[in-house]
Structure 1
Amino acid sequence: MKLAVFGATGGTGRELILQALDRGHEVTAIVRRPEAFTLTHARLRTEMGDVMKPDSFAPALQHQDAVLSVIGKNSLKPMTFYRQSARNIVDQMNKAGVQRLVCLTSIGVLTKPVGPLLYVWLIKPLLRNIYDDMRHMEQTILDSNLAWTIVRPSFLFDGKRLGRYRVGSSGELAHANRISRADLASCLLDQLDNQENRQKTIAVAY
């Protein structure tokens, strides 16, 4: 399968690309700063593109089978990065005739308390502007005509792949405390051929 990946320079993006290549996919990494992306492989292509400038990445979406978005941006201030990037990706996918989208958000978009107490009472309030923007991002994708799957992970950490995870098909998951970026990447790739989770928002954790 030919895959275009947004957010390739982040920890999750790098793991996603490595596993995609291991599975035999052809990958196009769309990055704003190519010098920050050091992976090389015969089936990996790097294209310069800024998710906030749709014309810059439009050519990279041509002839792709699916798009995976694992973009991330940190800010304590009100922001529109996530919602605008979603609009741009959806618009350019429609123009390129690409239907399959797997998009990463966070279980933090839920208004109910989910996760470790430190996260619920300290970290989540600090990230409220990010989660608010992510809710708008999700709505943009829900309103699209794409074959989408939204993936909401619990607290992320850098750890080895265990080869297992739990999924909440309603976008919620009890006792969703954490998951490694490696197992999250596996989950994201598993969604590409998962017909059951199309047009669904799922939560993922150990």
Structure 2
Amino acid sequence: MKHADKTKHTFKTTAPKNIVVFGATGDVGREVVTEAIMRGHLVTAIARNTDRLASLPETVTRRQVDILESPDLVAGIMADHDIAISAVRPVSGQEHLLATMTECLLTAARQTGTPIYITGGAATLKLADDSGHTVLSAPDFLPDAVRPIAQACATQDALFDQYDDVQWTCLRPPAMLFAGDKTRQYVRGTDTLIPDHDGMARISYADFGVAMVDILEAGDKPQRRLTVGYQNAAAAA
């Protein structure tokens, strides 16, 4: 079993960027916003809910925007920023909107030439057991309750191949995202789940936010699908 680009990543700084984060008040978006601000970047937070925007740090520029209702506004906002990040997730029961929202953001990135970093899903990642199955295709791997969002993430993932003229990067979480500490220690891979000491593939929302900002600061070649996760956490503790 091999994972590409397997290294541990720690905090570093780079020249400040003007970053816009779509879906900024969700579990992932909030951590991305917090991490980017801590590193000295200028952040504009986009979300649909005014109350949740108000809870973000004071240094954030907040804008209430429904990206599906205002695609031209989305492109205008993106044009004013160096980098765009998508952490959008539809509400339960509307999982199919994930692909539509992602398509809107990719189209805006195409129009403006803005590099965009998109939070994907684990659905298309291969299991680490060499079975050839993905998270979505493996029998009995996913609970029925999460299959709708997993299928939506697979549809989202297929969109990227239609945007070969866009500077996109997709960061896919492992099978389990959870509310936990920020360790700044994780392993990066490409198309396969990264198992921890107990065989589970996991990372905290906080460290996923760290990984997203690490990747955009690195400025690596775009049009890449990546993933991250903890590995041998028990031994390192």
Q: TM-score range by the shorter chain?
A: 0.7 to 0.9
Residue in 1 that maps onto 2:78: 61
1:29-77 deviation per Cα after TM superposition (whole angstroms, max 9, x unaligned): 11112222122333x2111211222134333223211111111124357
In the TM superposition, 1:83-122 aligns within 5 A as 83-98=99-114, 100-110=115-125, 112=133, 114=135, 121=140
Residues in 1 aligned to 2:124 and 2:144: alpha-carbon distance in whole angstroms: 11
Aligned to 1:151: 171
Q: 1:40 & 1:135 partners in 2: Cα distance?
A: 33
Q: Distance in 2 between matches of 1:63 and 1:162?
A: 32
- Residue equivalent to 1:161: 182
Match for residue 215 of structure 2 among 168, 180, 191 = 191
Q: Cα RMSD (Å) of the superposition?
A: 2.3
Q: CA deviation at 1:106?
A: 1.6
CA–CA distance in structure 1, aligned partners of residues 113 and 141 of structure 2? 43
Instruction: Report the structure, 1 or 2, having the larger strand content.
Output: 1
| Structure 1 residue 134 corresponds to structure 2 residue 150 | no
What is the aligned partner in structure 2 of residue 180 from structure 1? Answer: 204
Name the one with the larger helix percent. Answer: 1
Residues 83-142 of structure 1: CA deviation (Å, up to 9, x unaligned):
1111111112222331x111111213347255xxxxx83644332222222222222223
* Maintained 8 Å contact 1:75/1:127: no
Structure with the greater alpha carbon radius of gyration: 2
Whole-Å separation in 1 of the counterparts to 2:61 and 2:51: 13
Q: In the aligned structure 2, how far is the partner of 1:113 from the partner of 1:147?
A: 26
Q: How many residues align?
A: 198
What is residue 39 of structure 1 aligned with on the other side? 56
Q: Is the CA contact (8 Å cut-off) linking 1:31 and 1:47 kept in structure 2?
A: yes
Give distance in 2, aligned partners of 1:24 and 1:109: 34
Match of 1:117 in 2: none
TM-score by length of 2: 0.75
- Distance change in 2, residues 1:164/1:95 (3 Å): same
Shift of 1:199: 1.4
* 1:13 Cα offset (Å): 1.0
For structure 2, the residue ranges without an aligned partner over 5 or more in a row are 1-16, 127-132, 231-237
> Counterpart of 1:60 in structure 2: which amino acid?
I
Distance 1:35 1:60 in 2: 21
Structure 1 unaligned blocks of 5 or more: 115-119
Structure-1 separation of matches of 2:141 and 2:157: 24
Question: What percent identity do the matched residue pairs reach?
Answer: 26
